[in-house]
């Protein structure tokens, strides 16, 4: 092939290629099938990551606690000094029936040792006898304390003399005895173990607690 023929052939091929390009439609980037292009791993991770959702937790409703039930104190268990305005009122409310031996012995001691004394003085005498029965230094029951030899001058031959129980002074003594044995009124001479007239003092190392009427009380 001559040089002229080769040049003509190259020119023909160039024109054919130019025509082909001019008739081809340009391909847009948006027409490319994106599904065939794998997304980068970092992109997949971002898409598939679920953002944490903050779910508000409702405040717990406070369950009201049941109020404590307070049982009323039975009337018979209430102290007598809460029910009466005075010792005299408490004495007047006592009944003479159903007298037990301890009440009778204590009433006899109150009668012989302190009749005519103020009610507080009679109650203090009663409490001396009760305190002795609990002290461990004297007999452990009321009648034995009252009848103990050498303790109370009214006792004769280990016995309490007979008393006209119809006397007002004895009924008062019996009422005071019941109040004292029931611990129904506070003692005006707490923890006293001895009493005597002001001109006489018990033997031994004793402490004066109170003076009520014609008696001084010691422990």
pLDDT of residue 4: 53
The residue ranges of the chain whose pLDDT is under 50 are 18-21, 23-50, 53, 55, 60-80
pLDDT of residue 10: 60
Taking the CB of residue 187, how many other CB atoms lie within 10 A of it? 20
pLDDT of residue 119: 98
pLDDT of residue 192: 98
Say how far apart CA 164 and CA 204 lie, in whole Å. 36
Read off the DSSP letter of residue 190.
Answer: T
- CATH architecture of the domain covering 86-188: Orthogonal Bundle (1.10)
Domain boundaries in the chain? 86-188
Alpha-carbon dihedral sign for residues 188, 194, 200, 203: negative
pLDDT of residue 8: 56
pTM of the model: 0.63
pLDDT of residue 27: 44
pLDDT digits (tens, 9 = 90+) for 34-82: 444 444 444 444 444 445 545 455 554 444 444 444 444 444 444 445 6
Say how far apart CA 49 and CA 52 lie, in whole Å. 9
Facing residues of 218 across strands? 194, 208
- Which positions ≥6 away from 105 have C-beta within 8 Å? 142, 143, 146, 147, 160
């Amino acid at each position: 092939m001559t040089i002229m023929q080769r040049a003509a052939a190259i020119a023909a091929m160039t024109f054919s290629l130019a025509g082909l390009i001019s008739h081809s439609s340009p391909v847009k980037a948006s027409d490319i099938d994106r599904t065939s292009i794998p997304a980068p791993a970092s992109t997949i991770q971002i898409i598939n990551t679920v953002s944490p959702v903050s779910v508000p937790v409702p405040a717990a409703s406070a369950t009201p606690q049941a109020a404590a039930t307070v049982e009323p104190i039975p009337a018979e268990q209430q102290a007598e000094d809460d029910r009466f305005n005075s010792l005299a009122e408490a004495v007047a409310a006592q009944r003479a029936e159903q007298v037990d031996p301890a009440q009778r012995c204590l009433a006899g001691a109150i009668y012989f040792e302190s009749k005519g004394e103020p009610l507080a003085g009679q109650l203090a005498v009663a409490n001396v006898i009760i305190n002795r029965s609990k002290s461990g230094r004297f007999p452990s029951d009321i009648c034995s304390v009252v009848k103990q030899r050498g303790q109370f001058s009214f006792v004769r031959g280990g016995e309490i003399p007979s008393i006209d129980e119809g006397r007002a002074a004895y009924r008062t003594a019996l009422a005071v005895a019941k109040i004292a044995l029931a611990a129904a009124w506070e003692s005006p001479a707490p923890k006293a173990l001895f009493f005597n007239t002001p001109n006489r003092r018990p033997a031994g190392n004793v402490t004066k607690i109170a003076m009520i009427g014609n008696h001084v009380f010691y422990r």
